[in-house]
Amino acid sequence: MLLTDLPSWKKLQAHRQTWNDVRMRELFRSDPGRFGRFSIQLDDFLLDYSKNLINDETLALLRQLGEEANVPAWTDAMFSGEKINFTENRAVLHVALRNDPKRPIMVDGHDVMPGVVQVLEQMRRFAHAVREGKWRGHTGKVITDIVNIGIGGSDLGPMMVCRALKPYGNARINMHFVSNVDPNHVGDTLDDLNAESTLFIVSSKSFATLETLANAKIARRWLVERLGSDLAVSRHFVAISTNEEAVKAFGIDPENMFVFWDWVGGRYSMWSAIGLPIALYIGMDQFEEMLGGARDMDEHFRADPLSSIPGTLALLSIWYQHFWDAPSHAIFPYDIHLSRLPAYLQQLCMESNGKSTTRLGEKVNYPTGEIVWGEPGSNGQHAFFQLLHQGTRFVPTDFMLAAVTSHPFEGLHQMLVANCFAQSEALMLGKTEEEALAELKAEGANEDAIRLLLPHKTFPGNKPSNTMLYQKLTPRTLGRMIALYEHKTFVQSALWSINAFDQWGVEIGKRLSSVLIRELGEDKAVTTHDASTNGLCDHFQKLKGDKVFPPAES
């Protein structure tokens, strides 16, 4: 049955009508236990979801909806290795990558855990050798720079985590991430590197992605030119893939290859060998801490999917998206180390749930897939927060912050925390006309000024937000947080009756450009497309001429 046909849907529609005149500030005033009732704690990790437009009845109805959509049964199916990614005939087992190795998970009659453990051990040996300076470059130099070449799921996770866990990073090792086929990406990166001490990781599940292979070829040529021998490749290139043949064909020795499996989706793969850059940077013990954090969240989720942290956030998102007309969801980490988290979650959520066909092959008759966006605070406050406070859009928000920072400069962290709390408070409270008037009077404004300014100085408030507060952004905490959003995304997909684990929209993009790549390389007008595309090709060819842009002057 589709979401809108479930019995609780109609009840939620009726329930929504009771919310038209409800003010969250009044709910807090009348109920001192609200924070306690609407918050969940997993060790130090607290989710405060009390600043939402909900009461006990709302939550009960949403949970009922989740039961009717069979969320618990879908959860069991995923954890037990059923092929729930049915359009690709694959199991969905990122949870196996952080599972207790003693708990078997079967796919096609085989336990996947021994393979998982074997790759983790290989990663441990390699990370140790590089970090201890035992793995050296072709000329005997220790590795100081690591370049991950990959895109999408083979880039965003490791990049986001390496930034997030900088305080845990090896001081000798600089991490670089090349993803874009824009030549400036690989070019600017290589400009600053010494081939003798650089290690490249070519990271691609399919080993067929145009951007990655093109950048990897440039990097290999750059290396061989500088070190004067093809033999250097084996000390400076490793590959992560599911496709051994393609890795061999590229010229990387399978000895230097780390495998993973088709049951790991690209955007769910940072826990697999795709996480090798993370392990090289923070060490394997800390990498396993991160896996442990994800396992904590897996267990918490699995025990009671609809009352868990991820389940609650998913149900709230359904409430706002369908009953409050909120197509987007903002992510505001008050932590500069999490600056790439919004981009990471954009892929996780929008690639997973950006679908309009149900599991039964029908078109959905309701919106799916939140538009995820965000930036770290407090920067956002000086930019787009205005729209949240006084604009016409309704944007539910997640804030996240740590109680302890790795740079305890006097007072700064407290200011950051205060800013974060103040924003969620202001979004919830708003400012009434009476309050704005009192302020203007206290400032000594005359009657004319009051008439002019009063409507502009009031704030509607009643804007929902969730806050995640934890002690410190450790590998374990980060693992918990990412697994949380994975499971939130999964619960949403179960409610929307869609397959969160395929990505045909990405596949089409991979094919579409190949015709144009060929045509743009030919010395004749492009005429096979619509007038706009032909016109753009024509203008490009005129503008480009034979010009190669000179490097910027130093």
Does 87 bind ligand G6Q (CB under 6 A)? Our answer is: no
Burial class (CB in 10 A: 0-12, 13-18, 19+), 514: exposed
Least separation in angstroms between CB 84 and ligand G6Q: 15
Q: Can you tell me the distance from the alpha carbon of 291 to that of 224, in angstroms, rounded to the nearest whole number?
A: 36
Beta strands in 385-445 (DSSP E): 397-402
Stretch of residues binding ligand G6Q (CB under 6 A), selected from 175-183, 263-271, 282-290, 295-303: 263-271
Stretch of residues binding ligand G6Q (CB under 6 A), selected from 8-16, 40-48, 265-273, 288-296: 265-273
Does 154 bind ligand G6Q (CB under 6 A)? Our answer is: yes
Does 277 bind ligand G6Q (CB under 6 A)? Our answer is: no
CB 489 within 8 A of CB 420: no
81 dihedral zone (left: phi>0; alpha: psi -120 to 50; beta): left
Binder to ligand G6Q among 204, 462, 474, 489 (CB under 6 A)?
204
Burial class (CB in 10 A: 0-12, 13-18, 19+), 503: buried
Q: Can you tell me the distance from the alpha carbon of 398 to that of 18, in angstroms, rounded to the nearest whole number?
A: 25
CB 290 within 8 A of CB 272: no
Among positive and negative, which fits the CA dihedral 292, 175, 258, 512? positive
Nearer to ligand G6Q, 85 or 467 (CB): 85
**Beta-carbon neighbour count of residue 4 at 10 Å?**
12
Binder to ligand G6Q among 66, 81, 137, 153 (CB under 6 A)?
153
Nearer to ligand G6Q, 263 or 470 (CB): 263
Of 355, 329, 393, 378, the residue nearest 493 (C-alpha): 355
**Beta-carbon neighbour count of residue 129 at 10 Å?**
14
CB 201 within 8 A of CB 240: yes
CB 450 within 8 A of CB 381: no
Secondary element (H or E) of residue 330: strand 328-333
Q: Is 510 a catalytic residue?
A: yes
Nearer to ligand G6Q, 98 or 131 (CB): 98
Stretch of residues binding ligand G6Q (CB under 6 A), selected from 81-89, 264-272, 372-380, 522-530: 264-272
Binder to ligand G6Q among 105, 107, 151, 326 (CB under 6 A)?
151
Distance separating the N- and C-terminal Cα atoms of the chain? 64
DSSP, collapsed to helix, strand or coil, labels residue 328 as strand
Least separation in angstroms between CB 295 and ligand G6Q: 21
**Alpha carbon 383 to its chain's center:** 22
Does 506 bind ligand G6Q (CB under 6 A)? Our answer is: yes
Binder to ligand G6Q among 64, 139, 144, 206 (CB under 6 A)?
206
Among positive and negative, which fits the CA dihedral 437, 441, 445, 446? positive
Least separation in angstroms between CB 248 and ligand G6Q: 16
**Beta-carbon neighbour count of residue 29 at 10 Å?**
10
Q: Can you tell me the distance from the alpha carbon of 55 to that of 164, in angstroms, rounded to the nearest whole number?
A: 35
Q: Is 382 a catalytic residue?
A: yes
Interface with ligand G6Q: number of residues (CB under 6 A):
15
Of 215, 268, 231, 266, the residue nearest 95 (C-alpha): 268
Binder to ligand G6Q among 265, 277, 293, 376 (CB under 6 A)?
265
Does 351 bind ligand G6Q (CB under 6 A)? Our answer is: yes
Q: Is 407 a catalytic residue?
A: no
Catalytically annotated residue among 128, 185, 217, 510: 510
Binder to ligand G6Q among 267, 295, 322, 488 (CB under 6 A)?
267
CB 342 within 8 A of CB 373: yes
Stretch of residues binding ligand G6Q (CB under 6 A), selected from 132-140, 200-208, 275-283, 365-373: 200-208
Least separation in angstroms between CB 247 and ligand G6Q: 12
Least separation in angstroms between CB 71 and ligand G6Q: 22
Catalytically annotated residue among 382, 407, 524, 542: 382
Stretch of residues binding ligand G6Q (CB under 6 A), selected from 187-195, 229-237, 259-267, 388-396: 259-267
Binder to ligand G6Q among 81, 158, 169, 266 (CB under 6 A)?
266
Catalytically annotated residue among 196, 351, 370, 375: 351
Secondary element (H or E) of residue 348: none
Binder to ligand G6Q among 50, 197, 424, 503 (CB under 6 A)?
503
Nearer to ligand G6Q, 296 or 370 (CB): 370
Does 212 bind ligand G6Q (CB under 6 A)? Our answer is: yes
Residues forming the site for ligand G6Q (CB under 6 A): 151-154, 204-206, 209, 212, 265-267, 351, 503, 506
Q: Hey, which residues are catalytic here?
A: 351, 382, 510
